[in-house]
Amino acid sequence: MVSLRKYFSRLNPDASVKISDKALIASFTDDRTFPYLVSFPRTGSHWLRMLMELYFEKPSLVRAFFYKDAVDFTCYHHHDEDLTLSGRDNVIYLYRNPVDTVYSQLRYYKQKTDDEQKIREWSCLYGRHLQKWLLNERCPDRKTVLTYEGLSTDLHNEFSKLVAHFGQTLDAGRLDDVASQVSKASLKKRTSHDKQVVNTSESYARERDSFRSLYTAIIFSEIYSVTAELEEFLVAG
């Protein structure tokens, strides 16, 4: 087996590594049926990718958290922030409650969480992202939709959809073992490439609760202004 260590940008021993070799990446992504994991930023993809990597024993492109000498990959992760990604036949789409997503975006970019214009801008952008990937992109090979809330409250049920996407049945015991290894603390350690990926402070959660009470109605109004069809997929409040 050929080692791929030369393809990785080294960080500290506990941290993840970036897969940066363009030829290696293209050898997978040039196949339009190779799975893509699509998620708007701040919707839980780091956590999901770590769970996937441990469960399937191979990482996703373009970041490895545990299997840093991998020669095979589950999928390619793409945020599609500019809504230009197209032509993929095989997609896993992860989304999250828009209110928490917008709050997290504001905090990540150090924008004021009471800036109503920014709140509306982020809401509308996320609404278009949801419209594209929940409603418009058909993905003729297969498409599986996951929610962050589903993973958080009923991991077995939600993760079983992902396992089925890869033609397997869920090993519940294995998933429990994997989940026990992916705490917020371990997530923070392995995302040292970006210190803002995980925020565990009590003040963050407290301020998010206040944000929800003030801006939920505005955010959902902007989301539904993109298309009312999204009401089927979202729970307000």
Contact 43, 94 (CB under 8 A): yes
Residue whose pair of structure tokens reads 């809330």 in the numeric block? 149
Q: Number of folded domains in the chain?
A: 1
pLDDT at 142: 95
The CATH number of whichever domain residue 181 belongs to comes to 3.40.50.300
pLDDT at 4: 47
Is residue 200 pLDDT above 80, yes or no? Answer: no
pLDDT tens per residue across span 34-65? 999 999 999 999 999 999 999 999 999 999 99
pLDDT tens per residue across span 117-163? 999 999 999 999 999 999 999 999 999 999 999 999 999 999 999 99
Q: Is residue 68 part of a domain?
A: yes
Return the amino acid letter for 107. R
Q: Is residue 16 part of a domain?
A: yes
Q: Which residues contact 121 (CB under 8 A, 6 or more apart)?
A: none
Q: Is residue 237 part of a domain?
A: no
Average pLDDT over residues 177-194: 72
Q: Is residue 200 part of a domain?
A: yes
Q: Is residue 29 part of a domain?
A: yes
pLDDT at 197: 57
What pairing do the DSSP bridges indicate for beta strands 8-9 and 17-19?
antiparallel
Q: Is residue 37 part of a domain?
A: yes
- The reply to whether omega before 91 is within 30° of 0 (cis) is no
Domain hosting residue 44, numbered range? 5-232
* Confidence bin at 2 (pLDDT 50/70/90): very low
